[in-house]
């Protein structure tokens, strides 16, 4: 037997900061998938896509072939009109020009066979017809793509969990002690070091772990990292279980609900379906579930990292806070709420605590309306806070005119920029009013600096 190849990722495996890159890689992929499935996919111009495809194909032909293609397309169009069926029956074909360029006799039987001289034109024609058929079925295309992206998103979370398990085994070596796998003396002799054998065993354990359900992952995690539980870290654990069940149904059962799915989805908020019913992936469902995977992946990784490397708790907490900000600015309200709530429970400085709370309120307002946060924000005591934070209370409550004076001073003192006002969803409702004041102040500031 040859020496097994160890596939464990050794990059920075002993460096706590490697958790940062692990989380950042996962978040970047998930934000991309979220963007494709919600923003980009919703704005696809299929007619434009088809035109571009046709243009690219035509550009591959010679001038003579292009002319033959045009004549062929004209012939197809004319034929469709000539043979269109009416109440009296099909319309008889009109006279057609023969090869000598002479018009055929009316009533003369003609062949409906299309003869092409160029193989390139034949291939191009078939390609265009195929593309036309695909693009014309635009009613199912977004749904199909969202299903594919959902599968990829679940796989991305699975990959994250595997890489996280790898790091857990590196730190908590006792987690391998209950392994049922045993090496023979011959197998051990083929490893150069005991560490190589341990890495091989780790790889086997991770492969076996990832073949289990997400409930199996949760059981392993709770046992291997005391105090960490995805069920408590997720704001919608039943929804997370459901998305993996739906992924399995799409991959293995053509997307039609089976008994296993119905049992798993019973406790989730997903639309109830009957046995054998096709499971849809509309934009609202997609957005909610992808954000759930995104936030749970970040939070779980952060929680495990903080417990394994307590000295890095502050650094990891900073990273979660940063992704709460990013989620808010990208309009991922569910993710922003989950990440900001985790940040509020972490060891972060006072400034980050205030920002996390503002992020949380802003996202909830966007998702549920002002009534969801009005009572809590109204009771927020800002008497001891600077204008940098106190003005947010007025903005959250929609009292933008009262907030304008504070914002004006903040812009002058460079504690708040026009970019912040233009990009932060906190100011969406009052942006038109708020942009006026900072713009004037910037112009005055520029005049003073220029000696005006």
β-partners of residue 85 are 90
- On the question of pLDDT at 228 being above 50, the answer is yes
Give the separation between CA 36 and CA 22, rounded to whole angstroms: 22
Q: Measured between alpha carbons, how far is residue 96 from residues 76, 79, 289 in Å? A: 13, 10, 59
β-partners of residue 86 are 89
Q: How many domains in the chain?
A: 3
Give pLDDT tens digits for 391-425. 999 999 999 888 888 888 888 888 888 778 888 99
- Look at phi and psi of residue 398 and say left if phi exceeds 0, alpha if psi is from -120 to 50, else beta: left
Q: What is the mean pLDDT of residues 415-444?
A: 69
Give the separation between CA 341 and CA 321, rounded to whole angstroms: 10
35 and 78 in a single domain? The answer is no
Assigned domain for 338 exists? no
Give the separation between CA 91 and CA 294, rounded to whole angstroms: 60
149 and 293 in a single domain? The answer is yes
Does the global pTM surpass 0.85? no
Q: Return the structure tokens found at 411.
A: 């812009």
Give pLDDT tens digits for 345-370. 998 999 999 999 999 999 999 999 99
The number of helices, as runs of H, and strands, as runs of E, in the chain is: 21, 2
Q: By percentage, how much of the chain surpasses pLDDT 70?
A: 72
149 and 40 in a single domain? The answer is yes
Residue holding tokens 């060891």? 347
Among 74-83, 94-103, 107-116, 325-334, the minimum mean pLDDT is found in: 94-103
Do you know the residue count of the chain?
Answer: 452
16 vs 88, higher pLDDT: 16
Final residue in a domain of this structure, among 308, 332, 361: 308
Among 216-230, 271-285, 364-378, 405-419, the minimum mean pLDDT is found in: 405-419
Q: What is the mean pLDDT of residues 103-128?
A: 65
33 and 76 in a single domain? The answer is no
Give the separation between CA 286 and CA 22, rounded to whole angstroms: 24
Residue holding tokens 């954000």? 291
Q: What is the mean pLDDT of residues 197-210?
A: 81
Q: Are 95 and 106 in contact (CB under 8 A)?
A: yes
- On the question of pLDDT at 88 being above 70, the answer is no
Q: What pLDDT is attached to residue 51?
A: 59
Assigned domain for 365 exists? no
Q: Return the structure tokens found at 48.
A: 């434009």
Q: What pLDDT is attached to residue 87?
A: 47
82 and 198 in a single domain? The answer is no
Query: What is the pLDDT confidence band of residue 105, given thresholds at 50, 70 and 90?
Result: very low
Give the separation between CA 337 and CA 328, rounded to whole angstroms: 8
Give the separation between CA 362 and CA 396, rounded to whole angstroms: 7
Assigned domain for 447 exists? yes
219 and 301 in a single domain? The answer is yes
Q: What pLDDT is attached to residue 180?
A: 56
164 and 293 in a single domain? The answer is yes
96 vs 20, higher pLDDT: 20
Give the separation between CA 348 and CA 207, rounded to whole angstroms: 36
78 and 149 in a single domain? The answer is no
Query: What is the pLDDT confidence band of residue 158, given thresholds at 50, 70 and 90?
Result: very high
Q: In this structure, what DSSP letter does residue 278 have?
A: B
- On the question of pLDDT at 285 being above 50, the answer is yes
Assigned domain for 79 exists? yes
Please measure the distance between the N-terminal and C-terminal CA atoms of the chain and give it in whole angstroms.
Answer: 84
84 and 30 in a single domain? The answer is no
Residue holding tokens 């083929």? 190
- On the question of pLDDT at 155 being above 80, the answer is yes
Among 89-93, 188-192, 356-360, 397-401, the minimum mean pLDDT is found in: 89-93
Assigned domain for 352 exists? no
Assigned domain for 75 exists? yes
163 and 190 in a single domain? The answer is yes
Give pLDDT tens digits for 289-340. 999 999 999 999 999 999 999 998 999 999 999 999 999 999 999 999 999 9
Assigned domain for 245 exists? yes
Q: Looking at mean pLDDT, say which of 68-72, 243-247, 443-447 comes out highest.
A: 243-247
Q: Return the structure tokens found at 451.
A: 């000696």
Final residue in a domain of this structure, among 292, 308, 324: 308
Q: Taking Cα atoms as reference points, which of 399, 403, 327 lies closest to residue 366?
A: 327
- Where in the sequence is the domain holding 122, given as residue range(s)? 60-88+116-138
Burial grade of 133 (CB within 10 A; 0-12, 13-18, 19 or more):
exposed
- How would you classify the pairing of strands 85-86 and 89-90? antiparallel
Query: What is the pLDDT confidence band of residue 47, given thresholds at 50, 70 and 90?
Result: very low
Q: Are 325 and 362 in contact (CB under 8 A)?
A: no
200 and 225 in a single domain? The answer is yes
Average pLDDT, the chain: 80
452 vs 220, higher pLDDT: 220
Final residue in a domain of this structure, among 308, 333, 367: 308
Q: Which residues contact 95 (CB under 8 A, 6 or more apart)?
A: 103, 104, 105, 106, 108
Q: What is the mean pLDDT of residues 240-246?
A: 97
Among 38-52, 169-183, 224-238, the minimum mean pLDDT is found in: 38-52
Q: Measured between alpha carbons, how far is residue 154 from residues 161, 222, 238, 294, 415 in Å? A: 11, 21, 15, 10, 41
- On the question of pLDDT at 143 being above 60, the answer is yes
Q: Are 391 and 403 in contact (CB under 8 A)?
A: yes
- On the question of pLDDT at 243 being above 70, the answer is yes
Q: What is the mean pLDDT of residues 118-134?
A: 71
Assigned domain for 12 exists? no
78 and 26 in a single domain? The answer is no
Burial grade of 119 (CB within 10 A; 0-12, 13-18, 19 or more):
exposed
């Amino acid at each position: 037997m040859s020496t097994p190849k160890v596939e464990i990722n050794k990059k920075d495996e002993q460096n706590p900061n490697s958790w940062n890159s692990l989380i950042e890689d996962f978040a970047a992929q998930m934000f991309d998938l979220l963007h494709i499935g919600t923003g980009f996919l919703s704005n696809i111009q299929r007619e434009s896509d088809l035109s571009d495809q046709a243009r690219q194909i035509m550009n591959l032909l010679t001038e003579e072939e292009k002319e033959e293609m045009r004549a062929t397309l004209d012939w197809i169009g004319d034929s469709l009109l000539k043979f269109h069926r009416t109440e009296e029956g099909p319309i008889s074909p009109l006279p057609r020009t023969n090869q000598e360029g002479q018009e055929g006799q009316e009533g003369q039987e003609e062949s409906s066979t299309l003869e092409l001289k160029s193989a390139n034109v034949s291939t191009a024609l078939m390609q265009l017809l195929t593309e036309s058929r695909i693009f014309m079925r635009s009613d199912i295309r977004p749904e199909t793509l969202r299903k594919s992206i959902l599968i990829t998103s679940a796989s991305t979370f699975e990959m994250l969990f595997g890489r996280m398990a790898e790091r857990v085994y590196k730190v908590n070596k006792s987690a391998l002690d209950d392994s049922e796998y045993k090496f023979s003396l011959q197998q051990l002799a083929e490893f150069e070091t005991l560490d190589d054998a341990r890495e091989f065993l780790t790889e086997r354990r991770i492969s076996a772990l990832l073949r289990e359900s997400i409930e199996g992952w949760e059981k392993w995690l709770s046992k291997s990292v005391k105090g960490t539980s995805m069920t408590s870290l997720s704001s919608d654990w039943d929804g997370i279980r459901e998305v993996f069940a739906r992924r399995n149904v799409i991959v293995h059962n053509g997307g039609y609900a089976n008994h296993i799915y119905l049992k798993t989805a019973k406790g989730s908020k997903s639309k109830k379906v009957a046995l054998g019913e096709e499971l849809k992936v509309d934009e609202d469902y997609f957005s909610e579930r992808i954000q759930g995977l995104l936030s749970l992946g970040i939070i779980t990784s952060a929680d495990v990292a903080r417990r394994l490397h307590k000295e890095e708790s502050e650094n990891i907490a900073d990273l979660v806070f940063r992704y709460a900000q990013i989620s808010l600015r990208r309009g991922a309200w569910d993710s922003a709420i989950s990440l900001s709530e985790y940040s509020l429970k972490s060891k972060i400085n006072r400034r980050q605590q205030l920002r996390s709370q503002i992020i949380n309120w802003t996202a909830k307002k966007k998702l549920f309306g002002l009534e969801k946060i009005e009572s809590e924000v109204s009771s927020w005591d800002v008497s001891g806070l600077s204008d940098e934070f106190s003005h947010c209370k007025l903005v959250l409550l929609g009292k933008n005119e009262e907030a304008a004076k504070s914002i004006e001073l903040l812009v002058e003192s460079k504690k708040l920029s026009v970019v912040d006002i233009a990009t932060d969803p906190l100011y969406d409702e009052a942006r038109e009013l708020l942009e006026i004041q900072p713009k004037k102040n910037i112009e005055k500031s520029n005049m003073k600096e220029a000696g005006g």
